[in-house]
Structure 1
Amino acid sequence: MTSDELIDRARITDHILRYATGIDRRDWALYRSIFTDRMTPDFSSWSGEPALAMSADDWVAGVRATLEPFDATQHVLTNFVITVDGNSASCTCYMAAHHHLVSGDLREMHSIGGYYVHELQRSGDGWLIHRTTLNVTWEMGDRGLFERAALRATKNDGFSRV
């Protein structure tokens, strides 16, 4: 492997890790910065909805509305397999996502695991994701936690961050 290939792999790995960092730190500008302006998220294994091309701004707004009401989230990405072909690249990585909601003494968690396939394009010195596919292989907890988090957001009763 050449030094240029190693540099690309390191840049892609760092870039993909910003996916989890942006979400979990609620740094929506960081999360937005990892995508091309138009991108295609495919979360059909989770939602059952087909993949649709959309603006990255709309995607980030939807993720923010879904995850920000949780008290905490933790997205873990591991086992990166990266293929670079000129100005295109693919990165497959394992994932686990934990979503926490606290209400009084009740602490609830929902987790999913599986793997992402991110397709990237070279942009200047870096890389941007233009398609991301989530492949859920396991799930634990009550999916209704997402509805309860959304309800909390509509009540505008504040968030008790853990």
Structure 2
Amino acid sequence: MTTSTESSLRYLLDRAEIADVQLRYATGTDSRDWDLFRSCFTDEVEVDFSEGFGQPVVRLSADDWVKATAPRMESFQATQHMITNVVITFEDDDHATVVAYVRARHHLPNPTGSPDQTVYGHYTNKFVRTASGWRISTLKLTATWMTGNFGIFQSALTP
């Protein structure tokens, strides 16, 4: 293969792997497969859910991020995270930024209100090439708008 062909092939393979990681993130969340979910991240991850949720930006181990995420998502009867319009921009051979639309639906039967809540927005995630492949090092959710019962997030963790 020529250098140009090898470079093009590497580019396409990197794009496919990065897109797969982004989709594994959603699949791991919705299937409650926390090993799959964990496989998406570098050992340390920055998480920014400040826009729309008011949570501070945090930097923590990926294992701690999984431990924090699992109980919340498992407390819903069902979730569905749909990720589309994936745009990948490479900063260099080992760093990329992915902007992708998300529609995240959360379902929890609730006698005091709507059982559903939906977040519409986009992720702006930073990816790093590691020895294990491409991984998310920064996870940023920008919630553009929400519909339904936002209170089910609190209800989900109340026994």
Which residue identity does 1:93 align to in structure 2? A
Matching residue of 1:59: 65
- Change in Cα spacing, 1:3 to 1:86, as seen in structure 2 (3 Å) is same
Secondary structure of 1:53's counterpart equals: strand
For the pair 1:69 / 2:75, whether they are aligned, the reply is yes
Offset at residue 132 of structure 1 (A):
0.8
Percent identity between the two aligned chains: 42
What does 1:96-135 correspond to in 2, within 5 Å?
Answer: 96-102=103-109, 108-124=115-131, 126-135=133-142
Secondary structure of 1:24's counterpart equals: helix
Secondary structure of 2:107's counterpart equals: strand
What does 1:6-45 correspond to in 2, within 5 Å?
Answer: 6-45=12-51
User: Which whole-Å CA distance do the structure 1 matches of 2:134 and 2:151 have between them?
Assistant: 36
Unaligned runs of at least 5 residues, structure 2: 1-6
Length-normalised TM-score, structure 2: 0.89
Equivalent residues, number: 151
User: Which whole-Å CA distance do the structure 2 matches of 1:5 and 1:145 have between them?
Assistant: 42
User: Which whole-Å CA distance do the structure 2 matches of 1:125 and 1:66 have between them?
Assistant: 28
User: Which whole-Å CA distance do the structure 1 matches of 2:146 and 2:114 have between them?
Assistant: 18
Length-normalised TM-score, structure 1: 0.88
User: Which whole-Å CA distance do the structure 2 matches of 1:12 and 1:47 have between them?
Assistant: 26
CA contact (8 A) 1:100 1:107 kept: no
Offset at residue 3 of structure 1 (A):
1.4
Matching residue of 1:158: none
CA contact (8 A) 2:114 2:149 kept: no
Say what the alpha-carbon RMSD is for the aligned residues: 1.6
* Runs of 4+, deviation exceeding 6 Å: none
Match of 2:148 among 141, 145, 151: 141
